[in-house]
Structure 1
Amino acid sequence: MAKVRKRTLPSGLVRWQAGYVDGAGERRFKLFERKSDAEAWLVETRHDLARGLHTPGSVSPTMKEAAALWIKRCNEKGLEPTTVRGYEEHVDLHIVPFIGMKKAAEMTVPTINGFADQLRDAGRSTVMIKKVVGSVGSIFKELRRRGLANTAPTAGIDLDLGDDDREDPRPIIPTKPELQAIIAGCIDRWRPVILVAIFCGLRASELRGLTWSNVDLDARQLTLTQRADAFHRIGKLKSRTAYRSVPCPSLVLNALREWKLKCPKGDLSLVFPNGIGKVESHSNLLERGLHPILVAAGITELAPVLDEAGKPILNNASEPITREVPKYGMHSLRHACASLWIESGYNPKQIQRLMGHSSIKVTFDIYGHLFADAEADQRAAENVQIRLLGA
């Protein structure tokens, strides 16, 4: 039976005690300074009990404890070390410092919004805030699996994060003249890898994990079955849909035929290994491969010079000191491939399959603007005018 009673504490303070029986038949109590607060809380608690959505605060873990359970589960599921490390950074740098000591039972939609506001005030970017709140949602998924929570306070939440949401979400894609300059400038061992990146749209991890058994020169295609992670370990692809076959144009096939004759041999039979036949590092793909090509071709941009804390170094006029840096990374070549396929008439479903996206939504989110038909849009605008005005 749920009741609110007046209690005098040993210290002489008067408090109002709300008592109820939880779903497991245990008697629970909570003290309030005001009777109205106790009664309001008890009404809400009884409502949650009736719907099976109540977890007593006394058995609810703190968010720090809950996060530890989630990270443990991530390791048990065999997630990639880089993925787990990213989650650990979310916990250590963003979740624990702000809400680590809060009980999971205290986390509500307003609390989550307040947490997002705290992160924004502390200088976190909009992208990072969304990722961290997503991690909080994953923590609650694990708590529900363990029977330690019955709610999902981040489900369907609409974070109001200000003007950062107005930034252009479209990827930066190299222009055709830039791609032509890159192709003209890539020589020796870097030519085949750059050509495959541009014309086949592979992720850098897929390039690093590609084997000769997955290169069918007669069928003129590559078959993707594995990737190399940040720790140089060969493993599964990013998602089920990442397992795919990709066509190769003649320029790529000829480069691969030539490269196969002098490719370093190794136990893994990799197409693009390092000098001793082992997995090539991502940093070498950039620092020894793509970036020198970009610099030699003049495809650079100005970027601020940062200090050890990651802040721009200023000159005597209090202006940021800048330097020229390569304009693109390996993933930009993947974007370029997608844009060329779309320009050639491939439909969204084909692009999803060839790029290995997990869903068509991912394809539209990244490349939706490239499917636009300006002429069709103009014809539609003219038709609206004719229907309305008759001329």
Structure 2
Amino acid sequence: MGEKRSFGQITRLPSGRIRARYLGPDEFRHSAPYTFATKGDAEAWLVDERRLLAAGTWQPPKTRVKAKLLDKVTFELYADTWLRDRDLKPRTRQHYRSLLDRQLLPTFGHLELAEITPDSVRNWHALTGTATPTLRAHAYGLMRTILGTAERDELITRNPCYVRGAGNSVRVHKVKPLTLKELEVVVAAMPPQRQVMTLLAAWCAMRFGELAELRRGDLNLRTGIIHVRRAV
């Protein structure tokens, strides 16, 4: 819930970050263009906004950010700002950060947004990560999302990411399921405390993280129902 204040509202998000917003003179609610690590930072931003209002020099925060970004913003700068301002789970944020640093910024980081063309995106997709198609698909999907936001912000006229099927990946190696006889051999070779886990993985298509977090109370032997409530 938001904290009641004489000017503006401060809200702690599920991620732990702080959001600040206020009702502007145009009768619209305006949020800070990014979230804050501390309540003090959010309060300082609200104080600055109130000073602009008092001085008669106020403009909507998004308008000011857009004007600043239009000054030769590079993909790296915009992507860093985009990632910082998103309310993401820690593992998702870490994954996006890794995709940017390893897959995208070495090629596109120094380019201004308007310099990224469909041809450059197609060339990158054709030459990058051919041995890791899933990782490449994730990177392409992230870039398409970031530049989609830039398009909505009117920083570019059109999103250059439209390589057909690039957001999907094809397995490099085809997975061959075990036969019943092979499964029997694998289960017999497992330590006794892992045999049931192996059978559940094979027959119930449960992920390892779900299997590792199963508790006695999750299994109802009378009804034959397994409740998957957690993962690690």
Same-fold call, TM > 0.5? yes
1:181 aligns with 2:185: yes
Q: Pick from 194, 200, 204: which aligns with 2:204? A: 200
C-alpha contact 1:108 1:153 (8 A) present in aligned 2 = yes
CA gap of 1:100–1:195, structure 2 versus 1, over 3 A, is same
1:154 aligns with 2:161: yes
CA gap of 1:126–1:205, structure 2 versus 1, over 3 A, is closer
Q: Cα offset for 1:110?
A: 1.8
Task: State the TM-score, normalizing by the size of structure 2.
Answer: 0.58
CA distance in 2, matches of 1:114, 1:188: 52
- State the number of aligned residues: 164
Structure 1 runs not aligned, ≥5 long: 1-54, 229-391
Q: Pick from 200, 211, 216: which aligns with 1:212? A: 216
Amino acid at match of 1:210: L
Q: Cα offset for 1:127?
A: 4.1
1:171 aligns with 2:175: yes
Task: State the TM-score, normalizing by the size of structure 1.
Answer: 0.37
C-alpha contact 1:119 1:129 (8 A) present in aligned 2 = yes
C-alpha contact 2:128 2:136 (8 A) present in aligned 1 = yes
Match of 1:108 in 2: 117
Q: Secondary structure at the match of 2:177?
A: coil
C-alpha contact 1:60 1:149 (8 A) present in aligned 2 = no
1:63 aligns with 2:75: yes
Q: Pick from 111, 118, 143: which aligns with 2:150? A: 143
Residue by residue over 1:282-302, the C-alpha shift from the partner in whole angstroms, topping out at 9 and shown as x without a partner, is xxxxxxxxxxxxxxxxxxxxx
CA distance in 1, matches of 2:165, 2:119: 10
C-alpha contact 2:188 2:195 (8 A) present in aligned 1 = no
Q: Cα offset for 1:117?
A: 3.8
Q: Cα offset for 1:224?
A: 1.6
Q: Secondary structure at the match of 1:98?
A: helix
CA distance in 2, matches of 1:143, 1:196: 45
1:97 aligns with 2:101: no
1:77 aligns with 2:84: no
Q: Secondary structure at the match of 1:224?
A: coil
1:119 aligns with 2:128: yes
CA gap of 1:168–1:94, structure 2 versus 1, over 3 A, is closer
Residue by residue over 1:164-210, the C-alpha shift from the partner in whole angstroms, topping out at 9 and shown as x without a partner, is 97x77642322222101012223322122222212222111111222
Aligned-residue Cα RMSD (Å) equals 3.2
Structure 2 runs not aligned, ≥5 long: 1-65
Amino acid at match of 1:191: Q
C-alpha contact 1:70 1:139 (8 A) present in aligned 2 = yes
CA distance in 2, matches of 1:195, 1:125: 30
* Larger-gyration structure (1/2): 1
